[in-house]
Amino acid sequence: YEIYLNGMSGAVPRLPTDLTRLEEVTEQRLGPGPVGYVAGSAGDGSTARANRAALERRRIVPRMLRDVHERDLSVEVLGRPLPAPLALAPVGVLSIMHPDAESAAARAAAAQGVPFILSSASSTPMEQVAEAMGDAERWFQLYWPKDPEVARSFLSRAKAAGFTALVVTLDTPLLAWRPRDLDQAYLPFLHGVGTANYFSDPAFQAGLAKPVAEDPNAAVMHFVGVFSDPGKTWPDLAFLRENWDGPIVLKGILHPDDARLAADAGMDGVVVSNHGGRQVAGSVAAADALPRVVEAVGDRLTVLFDSGVRTGDDVFKALALGARAVLVGRPYVYGLGLDGQAGVEHVIRCLLAELDLTLALTGHSTPATIGAADLVEGSA
């Protein structure tokens, strides 16, 4: 009601409350280069469109006359209590959106009690982001470096900086064919954006002939070499188990058999995700993959979800399809671009307020009671 009450004195929100409009508004303000990178997806964009369509096609069937006057959005994820089933997805290179970049987004997450997942490819070193967050919940996303010494060093730095869970992204051993970036020859990494964790890393530096400051181009090329490794296979996960003693979540799982392999490998969770449609054009929509993964491993692993979530009812639908919690990517990145920390907080608050109202209006007072019976497949 805060927004309506403020409206009585003429104060309307600075940013749209319909988060599907943020891309357009951000592009108007920041121009096409950076927004093209954020909005862009693989190939002709079919996977990003399919992500939206798969969520929109599913329709909620509200129930009446259930006592919903008190509601509680909290859930347990990876053995820890969270105030709501929401986390900020790992997104690299945030300095292309705002000079305060990851630190501003992390502070916003901390202020709203939502976990922040820091990307390996952040434009701010992980220790600095950790400092901005105090003791708020944070997870570290690993792009698994080819050089095991760099991988080991990342893991021990993340542990020391208070990151509790490790999110290992498996769908990006190579960057996909992304025409918007190819046509503009725009790749932030080649300008040294998104390399902060690497350039500040002693094991990475040990592989350089000259310090980063003396030969930045060579450092960028070295980064390209160690960034990730298309040669990895399932048995390699043992390395992560040996070097990380907290929960490990595999991000980018779409096939139920891969989810079973994750469980067999002793992982703690998966994120059903197609990277927001940025990796494989023509891929299965994430929301279509989700129920199959939940059926395969829902009793063994924590199943999280992302790709295409834009509204509170999208979060509801993902929970109804079996996700324990949901990650959101682009919307908060646009919020950051438009208004820094306040913009990210705006996005989180809109999503949570809309989710809370959706629960109330569909007859639920906690996420625990949401399930498959709440959805039908419509025609969108």
Instruction: Give the interface with ligand FNR as residue ranges (CB under 6 A).
Output: 37-38, 89-92, 119, 121, 141, 169, 251, 273, 275-276, 278, 306-309, 328-330
Which amino acid makes up residue 75? V
Q: How far is the CB of 322 from ligand FNR (least distance, A)?
A: 18
Contacting residues for 9 by C-beta, under 8 A, at least 6 apart: none
DSSP string, 226-237: HS--TT--GGGH
The one-character DSSP state at 285 is P
Q: How far is the CB of 323 from ligand FNR (least distance, A)?
A: 13
Q: How far is the CB of 164 from ligand FNR (least distance, A)?
A: 17
Closer residue to ligand FNR, CB minimum distance, 276 or 322: 276
Q: How far is the CB of 13 from ligand FNR (least distance, A)?
A: 21
Q: How far is the CB of 65 from ligand FNR (least distance, A)?
A: 35
Q: Residue 39 in contact with residue 173, Cβ under 8 Å?
A: no
Structure tokens given for 256? 């139920």
Closer residue to ligand FNR, CB minimum distance, 89 or 176: 89
Q: How many helices (H) and strands (E) does the chain have?
A: 16, 12
Closer residue to ligand FNR, CB minimum distance, 161 or 364: 161
Known catalytic membership, residue 275: yes
Match 């569909």 to its residue by tokens: 362
- Sign of the four-CA dihedral 3, 8, 14, 19: positive
Closer residue to ligand FNR, CB minimum distance, 284 or 364: 284
Closer residue to ligand FNR, CB minimum distance, 50 or 364: 50
- C-beta pairs of 29-34 under 8 Å, 24+ apart in sequence: 29/337, 29/338, 30/97, 30/337, 32/184, 33/96, 33/184, 33/186, 34/96, 34/97, 34/337
Q: Residue 154 belongs to what H/E stretch?
A: helix 148-160
Which among 98, 222, 275, 364 is annotated as catalytic? 275
Rg (Cα) of the chain, in Å, rounded?
20
Select the residue whose beta carbon is closest to ligand FNR and give its number: 329
Q: How far is the CB of 136 from ligand FNR (least distance, A)?
A: 19
Closer residue to ligand FNR, CB minimum distance, 240 or 364: 240
> Cα 92 from chain centroid?
10
Q: So which residues are the catalytic ones?
A: 275
